[in-house]
Structures are given as C-alpha cells and as structure tokens.
Structure 1
Amino acid sequence: MTDSAVTVRAGARGDATRIAALHTASWRSAYAGIMPDSFLNGPLSADRLALWQQRLADNPSAAGLFVAECGPELVGFVYLIPRPDGRILLDNLHALPGRTRSGVGTLLFRRALRWAATEYPGCAVYLEVLQENKPAIAFYERHGGRRTDARLGRFEQGFELPEFEYTWTPPFSA
C-alpha cells in the first residue's frame, strides 16, 4: 500500500530498534505536559527498546505489527494484540513527529482494521487513549471510534492517568 511515497508493510523482528526510537519520539512529543517529565526525559528510550525487543521475541512473526516507511525512513507504526475477551487491542498507533496530520496515521489505522477483519472476523477493535491527548481523540472520533469507557490508566512505571476507551465494531468503516 502506498500513498505519497509512504509504503505500509508487515513489521518484522528486525524493526524493533527503529520502532522503539519512533515510539520514544512520539511519546515525548505527544505526552509532554501529560506524562511525568522525569519519565519522558529519563528512562523512556530504554523502556521502549526493552518493550519492543520483548514483544518481538514473544511474537517472532510480528503478527499485528505494520510499519510505514518513506524511503528508508520509518514514519509510523501500528500494533494490534488479540485479547482474551475476544476483542483486538490497538495498542500502538504512532506517526513520526513532523509527520502527524500527513495521512500516515490514517494509512496505518485502515491497515490495522483490515488485518483485524481478516484475521479475527467479527471481533471488535478497541484502544485506550489518554484523556488529555486531544489530537488523538479527535483522530479516533473522525475515524468512527465510539467512546465506550473512561477509567484511570495505570502505568507500570508508577503513575496513573485518566484515559478513554474507544471501540470499532465490525463491519469496519474507517
């Protein structure tokens, strides 16, 4: 799939380092003033690298992972996880800072929904978004997300932040 020289492909184990770097940059940009500065400016990079190395070691086929590239540059990624309750968690959707609002997120989001519909027909897709992340909330609502819950998100790094849950029920239309 391409759009303005952006190609979306299935992710691979070898993408862990680049995904971790983009994940770190995205969180530092999107969550500044929302997440604790001590985390964003401290151990975040090592934390994200450990997360992606572990995720891709546990999931060597990288099922549910899609990356967007513009030439050799990684400009976004999306990751979905089937959950025990029968739903699919869209756990990550990130565009490289500077590439937000460029269509990268929409390409990845649509690819994620197609994957979920093909691999897990009839299963709802949901995600959790921080309540203060207004640009992300606007994106999800533009793409048909329905707010289905509000709660306190607990981060393993030792802090809590209010979040919303958004859900897409099949058949999907993004």
Structure 2
Amino acid sequence: MICIRRARPADAAAIGAVHVATWRTAYAGVLPDGYLTSLSALRHAAGYETSIGDRRHGHAVFVAVAKGADAPAGTPPGEEEGTIIGFVSGGRSRRPGFADGEVETLYLLDDYRDRGIGRRLMRAMAAHLAVVGCRSVMLWVLKDNPTRWFYQRLGGRPMAREVIRFAGESMEQLAFAWNPIEALLTATAPASEA
C-alpha cells in the first residue's frame, strides 16, 4: 500500500536519502559526475528538517510512504511506519508574477515511477496550495531533466525559460504553469473523480 501524508520532522533523513538517490539517476549525464557523487543525504536531511517545520508562506512537504507488499525489498517485516519513497514540497511562489503557488521539489525513487504516485503527490500539493489561497501554480525543471514530460502530460503549459548557473555550469530551466490551479487538480484526479 502507498499512502500520501504530510511530512514530519522524523522523515527528514529518509527525504534527504530520496533526494540524493533521485538526483544521481535523473541527472546522470546532465550534471557533473563530481557534483552528483558529492551529494550528501545528511546535509539534505538537515535542510528538509527545517523545511518541514516551516509553515510560512503556505509551505508544506508531503511524502509517499510504501508499506506491506509495496515496501522496498529488504524492509523488515512489520515495519509500522513504512518507507518513504518520494516527496513533494512547495508553497506560495518565490517569484511574484509567475503564479500564486509553486511546486519546489518532486522526487520519487525509480522503482516507483509509472504507478501514479507522482500524480498523487502533485495532487496533494495542488490541493494544499488551493486551500492556502493559490489560484495558479508553477514549477521549474531543468530542460535536460528526462522526466519533464511528466509535467507536460499533466497539462503544464510552458511559460518561461532561463539560463542559470548550477554546479559550475550554465543550464537552461523551463517553467510550467497551471492557471487556474483547478487544471492541475483535474489532471491529477483519481479515475473515479475525473
């Protein structure tokens, strides 16, 4: 069973580990190898622990938790809390004028892709942003990120592009938007609601 729930401070270490694991696979060949090998799950965990507790600007973090038969191989039997396999974070937009809300991160372990979990995480964030008063939502993704098709499949409309410096290199990133936010809620609705 996979459940989506609001993150708790105790989840920070697992979230940091998911962040590092997904970056190393998604950005292999996109970001420098030295940068990817230097990523620290512990350092990311510290940042996420702060992020989980920060509710300013409508900020929230949601996690996907696998339990039972859906838990990763090697999970001890009877693991009550389950294993975090993905997460999403966001809040009010960091750049006024683009959209009211922003999805800041969405990461899911490779073994759990193409099962509707990313869609469920996006829905949790969109529903949260709608509740805190956001009428539109956007996100940034590196142009060379091989999973950017996911946002397009959910109806995200390209709205901007820019070149940024990251890991010592120039990279292009794209912004996708859903305006109104109901477009994302509809695109991520379970089949029974569509």
Aligned mates of 2:29, 2:40 — CA distance in 1: 15
Aligned mates of 1:91, 1:154 — CA distance in 2: 18
Deviations 1:96-144 (A, max 9, x none): 121111211011111111111112242x21111111113x221101101
Structure 2 length as normaliser, TM-score?
0.77
Aligned mates of 1:44, 1:74 — CA distance in 2: 17
Deviations 1:60-88 (A, max 9, x none): 9x942111111111111110121352621
Per the TM alignment, residue 41 of structure 1 is displaced from its structure 2 partner at its CA by 0.6
Q: Residue 100 of structure 2 contacts residue 134 of structure 2 at CA under 8 Å; is this kept in 1?
A: no
- Of 102, 114, 137, which aligns to 1:125? 137
Aligned mates of 2:93, 2:149 — CA distance in 1: 25
Aligned mates of 2:176, 2:40 — CA distance in 1: 25
SS of the residue corresponding to residue 131 of structure 2 reads: helix
> Among the aligned pairs, what percent are the same residue?
29
Aligned mates of 2:45, 2:26 — CA distance in 1: 18
Amino acid at match of 1:45: A
Q: Which consecutive residues of structure 2, in runs of 5 or more, have no partner in the other structure?
A: 68-81, 188-194
Q: Report matched runs for 1:101-140 at 5 Å.
A: 101-122=114-135, 124-134=136-146, 136-140=147-151
State the aligned residue count. 166
Per the TM alignment, residue 13 of structure 1 is displaced from its structure 2 partner at its CA by 1.4
Amino acid at match of 1:139: F
| Bigger Cα Rg | 2
Aligned mates of 2:60, 2:42 — CA distance in 1: 23
Aligned mates of 1:113, 1:56 — CA distance in 2: 17
